[in-house]
Chain A
Amino acid sequence: MSAVYALYSSPDAAQRAVNGLYAAGIAQADVVVMSGEPFEAQPFAHRDSATWLWYIACLGGFVGLGFSTWLTRMTELAWPLQTGNMPIVAWWPNLIVIFELTMLGAILATVLTLFVTAKLPGRLPKLYDPEVTNGKILVGVENPAAATLPALERALMAGGAAELKRS
């Protein structure tokens, strides 16, 4: 057996099971929760909510800003042709390219950070049940220690699960 878990129909029941597991001495990081939708009202949904995503998006924007400033200026100086009576390095039109690449940098940084931190793409873990996407909430523990198993099973059943499952 590599995992034991239970499926819950309501987020309150899942939260009770999660609380029970913590009370049984299971570390927060070892408790696995999966759901087919986010449950912002439940405390279990706020695990791992600290993120650098906003800062990384800003950083991506700054990288885009720096790159586009360099690109526009460098290309205009590399072959200094005067166009439409504009200066060789014409900041007004350059601002358009700079704006677009700044935003592109922020967008790409956001998506890359999402993929890295959410571990996407990845393989489905052994502890997974297709019922999750049908509205059930999975709460379980991977590789539980034999000594903790009875307390763990009691905590999962106390949450209101119909049955325990193993994978």
Chain B
Amino acid sequence: MSEAYSRKLGDDLLRPLLETSWRFYLIVAVLGSIVLMGLGTWMYQMYMGFGMTGINNPIFWAFYITNFVFWIGISHAGTLISAILRLVNAGWRRPVTRCAEVITAFALMIGAMFPIIHLGRPWLFFWLVPYPSSRQIWPNFRSPLVWDFFAITTYLTGSVLFLVLPMIPDFALVRDRTTGLRRKIYGALALGWQGTPKQWHRLESAMSIMAIAIIPVAVSVHTIVSFDFSMAPVPMWHSTMFGPYFVAGAIFSGIAGLIIAMAALRKFLHLEEYLHPVHFQNLGKLLLMMSLLWGYFVFAERLTVWYGNESAEIAVLRVTQKGSFAPLYWTMVVVNFVIPVSILSIKRLRTIAGCVVASFGVLVGMWLERFLIVVPSLGHKYLPYSWGTYRPRPVELLITTSTFAAMCLLYTLFAKFVPIISIWELKVGEQEPHETAQERSARVLGEARP
């Protein structure tokens, strides 16, 4: 790879770090205000009590648990996709991986906050932490809520390390290109990276091991989140397919989140030269595949329940498909299946704009899906005298809105202070021989001939 290209890469991808426009401050101010409003609302909820929310008997899980499942699902965008693409050595992954891995880290942090918000008394969170109380009582490791603690902690630790390790050589690049305080800060973050063959080899080996380790962990996290539901004898929850159903849904919403983040980065940071339409095309194909898989899971779930004709489950099925939740249910079907399949299965429509439109729909649809799993089932348990419904109150709406702003704010700040595309990995990509389709087919056919 030419030295000139190396310099150009550095110039282009470090520009957001070294130059700050007024738009950055405006975005941070707006998003920061919404996040502060959300924090204030949470304080208010703590002060006034959990009665400020719409949560009441029999629906004790609602917006906050919906958000928890939604954000943990979004977290599957990054590390899982990045690890799979890394293992299969997909060359087109190089500009995508870091954009994706960041989503995982921040979405997990936001998602993990929701059970704490939902506690009502968050200062008792430490009861979940596995250490004995003063009476030597440990948390019950047979409880799915404690499994969540272990799964999220492992995934968050692994994802943050998976994100941070390949950032070290890029921090060294920033260190060598800056002066003053910036040089000191990035010098500290670069950990004295020199780029010796030994360091490169160890880093790449470690990334391979991490990629292998993180894939089953990512799958386990959302499976365990699904166990929060499927371990309970609640209509339409107690299902063996919830694990794979949740994992597929998580990857589905994760890819949608990644496409939107990449499109925003491409537009606002002018990364058109690095995030090509082909990246969106490929992710669009993945999104299409996951949309079909999601449709298959929903069909399998609904058909089984309908055919089984068990009265409590049929009550939930009816209320979602024909009753008060029907508008949400059919919106979910349209934005999760009809629109993405219509747009993404036609090559001409699988453009950046098409992928973004489909992805926005999927994010809305997947949030609705989580909500429709949580609320209607709790409102229609086995004994009809305990049926009830739920309406969110302003505190829940404000806190939910603020977490979306928090995600955008964290992402904006990250893109400001860290190269959002892995520069050294792009350079490695340039070392690989470029082959046209004709050259490749000629080579492969030539090799195949006796």
Contact = CB atoms under 8 A, between A and B. Distances in A.
A111 B165 contact: yes
Nearest to A87: B142
A86 B142 contact: yes
Contact of A106 (B10, B197, B209): B209
A123 B192 contact: yes
B197 A33 contact: yes
A118 B217 contact: no
A121 B383 CA distance: 61
B213 A106 contact: yes
Contacts of A100: 147, 150-151, 153-154, 217, 220
Contact of A54 (B136, B151, B205): B205
A117 B202 contact: yes
A110 B210 contact: yes
Interface in B94-145: 130, 132, 136-143
A135 B2 contact: yes
B268 interface: no
A45 B200 contact: yes
A19 interface: no
Interface string A100-122: 11011011101101100111111
A32 B196 CA distance: 8
Nearest to B146: A97
B130 A71 contact: yes
Give the contact-size bracket for chain B: 35 or more
Given A90-B142, A103-B154, A121-B192, A36 B220 contact: no
A121 to B, nearest CB: 4
A70 interface: no
A123 B194 CA distance: 9
B198 to A, nearest CB: 4
B147 A53 contact: no
Nearest to A41: B431
A46 interface: yes
Nearest to B6: A135
Contacts of B176: 130, 132-134
A110 B206 contact: yes
Nearest to B221: A100
A76 B139 CA distance: 9
Contacts of A110: 206, 209-210, 213
B195 A47 contact: no
Given A47-B198, A118-B203, A122-B192, A9 B3 contact: yes
Among A35, A36, A72, chain B packs the most CB atoms within 10 A around the CB of: A36
B201 interface: yes
B141 A33 contact: no
A124 interface: yes
Interface of B is mostly: helix
Given A104-B154, A124-B192, A93 B205 contact: no
A119 B202 CA distance: 10
B427 A36 contact: yes
Interface stretch (B166-174, B341-349, B372-380): B166-174
A113 B198 CA distance: 13
A134 to B, nearest CB: 6
Interface stretch (A77-85, A141-149, A151-159): A77-85
Interface in B197-240: 197-206, 209-210, 213-214, 216-217, 220, 224, 227
B196 A134 contact: no
Interface string B152-181: 011001100100010011001101110000
A78 B158 CA distance: 31
A134 B200 contact: no
A48 B203 contact: no
A35 B200 contact: yes
B103 to A, nearest CB: 19
B1 interface: yes
A128 interface: yes
B424 interface: yes
Given A36-B424, A100-B217, A103-B154, A93 B141 contact: yes
Chain A to chain B: the 3 pairs with minimum beta-carbon distance, closest first: A135-B6, A130-B176, A122-B192
15 contacts: A37-B169, A37-B424, A38-B428, A39-B431, A71-B141, A93-B142, A94-B141, A99-B216, A100-B154, A111-B165, A111-B210, A117-B202, A124-B187, A133-B172, A133-B175
Interface of B: 1-3, 5-7, 10, 130, 132, 136-143, 146-147, 150-151, 153-154, 157-158, 161, 165, 168-169, 172-173, 175-177, 187, 191-206, 209-210, 213-214, 216-217, 220, 224, 227, 424, 427-428, 431
